[in-house]
Amino acid sequence: MNQKALILQPKQTNETLNPMAGTRTFTMIKPDAFEAGNAGAILKMIEAAGFKIVALKATRLSPALAGKFYEVHSERPFYKDLCNYMSSGAIIAAILEKENAVEDFRTLIGATNPANAAEGTIRKIFAKSIEANAVHGSDSDENAAIEGSFFFNQYERVL
Ligand code: ADP
Ligand code: MG
């Protein structure tokens, strides 16, 4: 296959989607935190907790793309509001690497509702509400691979 064909049709095997299963997770810094100027402080906490950034971009989701990303929640009463909120401003998307990445990152960000989040967690410090809760974190290795590939092709991340 020539180089052009490779770029047009990147190979998407389990290995390219998640080359080191169990060691990567996906995160977004959500519009509330980005708008408040907290992206740098949050990335600093992420690195201080031992995560390496292996892909990173600032972008903005359309309502349709936010709807696709959160499709699993389409039956939940907050789905429409969530899609509007997630497309209301710029976000940062990133793939992070660490041993036990998914679970350790969920611990670092804290509970969905900042009122229930442990002291010192990212959501406790930065979240404004249960909806505008500063950060996303994948809930499984499988979803981490799917979500990372939603935002980054294989040439936009450290392999
Ligand atoms: P988490 O982000 O902690 O994995 P969920 O996957 O359950 O939480 O929900 C996805 C996102 O939807 C949350 O991060 C939050 O922004 C929003 N959300 C969840 N529950 C509610 C709710 N009860 N009301 C409004 N928004 C919510
Ligand atoms: Mg979730």
Using CB distances shorter than 6 Å, the residues near ligand 1 are 73, 78, 82, 112, 130-131, 133, 136, 139
**How many percent of the chain have pLDDT more than 70?**
87
Protein residue closest via CA to atom 16 of ligand 1: 131
Higher pLDDT, 84 or 11: 84
For residue 20, the model assigns a pLDDT of 54
Tell me if 137 sits within 8 A of 35, measured CB to CB: no
Q: Which domains does the chain have, with CATH numbers?
A: 19-151 (3.30.70.141)
Q: Which of 74, 29, 27, 32 is nearest to 51 (CA)?
A: 27
Q: Is the pLDDT of residue 5 over 50?
A: no
Distance 93 CA to ligand 1 centre (A): 17
Q: What pTM value is reported for the model?
A: 0.89
Name every residue whose Cβ is closer than 8 Å to that of residue 31 and which is 6 or more positions away in sequence.
85, 86, 88, 89, 90, 91, 132
- Least confident span in 14-23, 49-58, 138-147: 14-23
- Check pLDDT > 80 for residue 19: no
List the Cα angle 121/146/25 in 5-degree steps.
30
Note if 136 is an active site residue.
yes
Which stretches within the chain are classed as H helix? 3-8, 14-17, 31-35, 39-48, 63-69, 79-86, 101-109, 122-126, 141-151
Residue 1's pLDDT is what?
45
Q: What is the pLDDT of residue 42?
A: 98
Residues 147, 133: Cα–Cα separation, whole Å: 18
- Residue 19 vs residue 99, higher pLDDT: 99
Check residue 145 and give its pLDDT: 96
pLDDT higher than threshold 60 for residue 6: no
Structural tokens at position 103: 């679970």
Which residue is catalytic, options 121, 136, 145, 147?
Answer: 136
Cα angle at 79 between 138 and 133, to 5 degrees? 50
Using the predicted structure, report yes or no on whether residue 16 has a pLDDT greater than 90.
no
More confident of the two residues 139 and 5: 139
Burial of 142 (0-12, 13-18, 19+ CB in 10 A): middle
The percentage of the chain sitting over the pLDDT mark of 90, rounded to a whole number, equals 86
Q: What's the pLDDT tens digit per position in 107-159? A: 999 999 999 999 999 999 999 999 999 999 999 999 999 999 999 999 999 98
